[in-house]
Chain A
């Protein structure tokens, strides 16, 4: 098994799928000559040429819509947003064109497309570049939403997303592109809608996705000093959601903390809390806690930014709360 970075896992997934199927096209800002703003498409322009690795002008609505038109006629575009912060310019195309096309046409249109890029905040990029928007897309019937946390999951899920005939919004993270992990040499796929237990435990369930899975793992590690054995559930997919995995863990531990970078109000974590109380009410020993970003646009200063994000300390407080410690 090779140990590679997440950006390499993404690049390998793209390259393998582009070799396998000539209908797979990569387009977006900086994907070609620059090798990707975060170097996730290194070498792809050279291997596949400018007809299949397409540098676009800065026009998110335009190139997202363009990808949808390609997909209607049988291509399988992967549209890269430099970050999902800029997907707001294209959100009308994703939500009001792509996600509605199949229903509005009574099943005549198919739109096999992946919208991918970095989601969430990085470090000190200030308010306009630090949004966590995956719930906008997870809210929308017609879309799938994936937010993996490791090189292994990233590669296996991106390959599946590209092969899927539906619209997949694929969230990465600026802060974890360099994160390393083992990836098998042989080909593999991970199905959409299947979460993963990243650490087994019996006392409390920590639920997260994308880069905050690593925060949850760190929290779990520190909780060992308190003799609390935490289980870490990585959702991997937000839509479809692996409810069985969540409910199985909750019925085992009876205590839940959701860790998310979203603001709490109308967030994905709030939805998880609803689902868990509805389906596991009799199993819960405490109300579900949701640790979120504070209700403020992201300030620049590191001293403030650190307070806004869920921290190890805030997560541990939440765990103590559900354990009545």
Chain B
């Protein structure tokens, strides 16, 4: 395995983890309002999947647990924290908040709060890239809670019908909010739903960034070469509650601790340490810490939006 690649994955996943840990702290200090859905535990999914695409031609869209996808697309730490703090320098100018991160210049198209509703939107983006003949693909992240709602099925069925370069990734963290998977799906392999449209299907281990990368790479190849749509089930686990308001009484501490033993970041750290790259690990940790600290302090120092701009961004030219 290429050490620079491992180090790159390690750095990106650690950055997301640290961003989320700091966000949790800011939330408990009441500096962040509203809902805060943390990505801690699932970092390998966003980082592995997005490493398999080329953001100059490809696009990413996701649901409301979106900080990881935003950062994996290259979104700025400072603008991310600023958004959470409601600042004008935020990645959505303080208008979106935790659930609605956007970084359109990096082809990250949000950050959507209605479960499953962005799947048809992603299909429309895939229609557009196909029509433009850029060879692009669209990665659409959803949660396992989205698999029973209409737009998920409508989006996939239209993508299958028209042969759209769309890859829908189910981040299957076993809980739709607090309801366990067995109460919302008769099968654990959610990719089986692909059979009905039909689209291609695949599965990956969300604790293993390389497995995720390889699985999504296969889907990207199918999309680019054959305009084939793929539905992927990636098993993962969030260590924190559904949101910060969730004490997680629907699962045991032992279960969470058991999952943490497979942690995607610790896996990579172990590989690097076993190969004798202790100083590299230390260097990455230090650099990530600096990026977090600098980004956060700049975000905290930034201004809140000017009240005179409250009705901006409702209409074009408004």
Interface residues of A (CB under 8 A from B): 51, 56-57, 59, 61-75, 92-93, 96-97, 101-110, 112, 141-142, 144, 164-166
Contacts and interface: CB of A to CB of B under 8 A. Distances in A.
A221 B233 CA distance: 66
B212 interface: no
B217 to A, nearest CB: 23
A103 B95 CA distance: 6
B120 A103 contact: no
A68 B100 contact: no
A154 to B, nearest CB: 23
Contacts, number: 144
B126 A69 contact: yes
B155 A102 contact: no
A102 B104 contact: no
A110 B117 contact: no
Given A65-B124, A66-B127, A96 B117 contact: yes
Nearest to A68: B121
Interface stretch (B174-182, B198-206, B277-285, B308-316): B308-316
Given A104-B111, A105-B96, A69 B157 contact: no
Interface in B71-121: 90-96, 100, 102-105, 109-114, 117-121
Contact of B158 (A56, A112, A164): A56
B154 A62 contact: yes
B122 A102 contact: no
Given A92-B114, A109-B102, A63 B95 contact: no
Contacts of A74: 128
Contact of A73 (B92, B129, B158): B129
16 contacts: A51-B131, A61-B150, A62-B151, A62-B155, A62-B157, A63-B120, A66-B124, A66-B127, A69-B126, A73-B59, A92-B114, A97-B114, A102-B313, A102-B316, A105-B110, A106-B96
Which of A71, A93, A103, A164 has most B Cβ within 10 Å?
A103
Contact of B92 (A59, A61, A105): A105
Contact of A65 (B131, B151, B315): B151
B292 interface: no
Given A72-B109, A74-B128, A109-B102, A166 B154 contact: no
Interface residues of B, number: 47
B284 to A, nearest CB: 30
B161 interface: yes
Contacts of B128: 69-70, 72-75
B215 interface: no
Contacts of A165: 316-317
B102 A66 contact: no
Nearest to A107: B313
A103 B157 contact: no
Contacts of B90: 106
Given A141-B314, A166-B316, A59 B158 contact: yes
A108 B92 contact: yes
B127 A57 contact: no
A66 B158 CA distance: 9
B121 A72 contact: yes
A249 to B, nearest CB: 26
B157 A57 contact: yes
A83 B121 CA distance: 22
Nearest to B124: A69
A73 B127 CA distance: 10
A73 B119 CA distance: 15
Given A69-B128, A105-B110, A142 B315 contact: yes
Contacts of B155: 62, 65-66
B93 A70 contact: no
B79 to A, nearest CB: 10
B60 interface: no
B118 A97 contact: yes
Contacts of A101: 110
B264 interface: no
Given A59-B158, A106-B93, A69 B102 contact: no
B109 A109 contact: yes
